Amino acid sequence: MKEPFYWLGEDNPSVPLILTVPHSGEEVPPEATWLTGLEPALLLTDVDRFVHELYEPATRALKLPALVTRVHRYAADLNRFPGDVDSDAVEGAIEPSGKFPKGFHWVVTTRGERLMDKPVSRTVHDELVRLYHDRFHQELASRLKGRARTYHLDCHSMPSVGTGAHRDGGQKRADVVISDLQGKSATPAYKDLVVGAFRAQGFEVAYNWPYFGGRITERYGQPAQGHETIQIELNRALYMDERTYEKGAEFDSVSRRLTDALREIATGLKRAD
């Protein structure tokens, strides 16, 4: 595998805004032998496919840094803690079967399809943590170090309709879901700026439903320490065919709207400073 993650864009001293894209990776690392040989369509079920491409024009135009992973989330989910595993996922795990079916190692997909026939060894788990989780978060932390204030967007995608694994099973979703751990990971001013920017581009926006924010939001969203994080979930039906996992006709249009939304956010942050 190439480097398991890479940066898009560049630092912009005038805009303290940074992006992460932790779930668009499609490469199965060699340590995750249980995923080799699975059908390609199965492996794409929960990938945030193309999300890094959607935001790439914005990172170039606005000179915004974005950390992107190549690693498949089923092998090492960077939006989980390493301890988010149960006895189905890792040998000797203290959490009981069924506690973390979609944890650091995914046991089943959101459609209930089995990914792991048996738990991995503690040695394999520790190696995946060291090689992918730790390095990703060390890289992000190094970029944040020394900044008095940072605004962070953690960028994801979501199915257009909730599955049985979601809080809103069977329900049609908004275009965009903005999450801040119910007000804990960002100030109201930053949240309102982000919500307003997406609405200005014609996106239907939901707030903290059906997603509240993941472990990245929890880890980095510390407003009292000058670091604010908001999770963005983009409806896949806007830009791709959810049956074939291929780009849709509106892909470029959606990407331009995202660039305009981020431009408005960046401008608002400049004014705030």
Per-residue pLDDT tens digits for 183-229: 999 999 999 999 999 999 999 999 999 999 999 999 999 999 999 99
Mean pLDDT of 9-18: 87
Q: What is the mean pLDDT of residues 147-151?
A: 91
8 Å CB contact between 233 and 157: yes
d(Cα 205, Cα 234) in Å, to the nearest integer? 10
Architecture of the domain defined by 5-73+124-272: 3-Layer(aba) Sandwich (3.40)
What is the separation of C-alpha 158 from the centre of its chain, rounded to a whole number of angstroms?
10
Residue 209, CA distances (Å) to 113, 149, 150, 163, 171 in order:
24, 27, 25, 14, 11
- Measured between alpha carbons, how far is 77 from 25 in angstroms, rounded to an integer? 10
CA distance 157 to 48: 5
Query: For residue 243, what pLDDT is reported?
Result: 96
What kind and span of H or E run contains 241? strand 240-241
Q: pLDDT (tens digit, 9 = 90+) per residue, 245-265?
A: 999 999 999 999 999 999 999
Place of tokens 């503690």: 122
Question: Does the pLDDT value for residue 168 go beyond 80?
Answer: no
Crossing angle of helices 188-200 and 251-272, rounded to 10°: 140
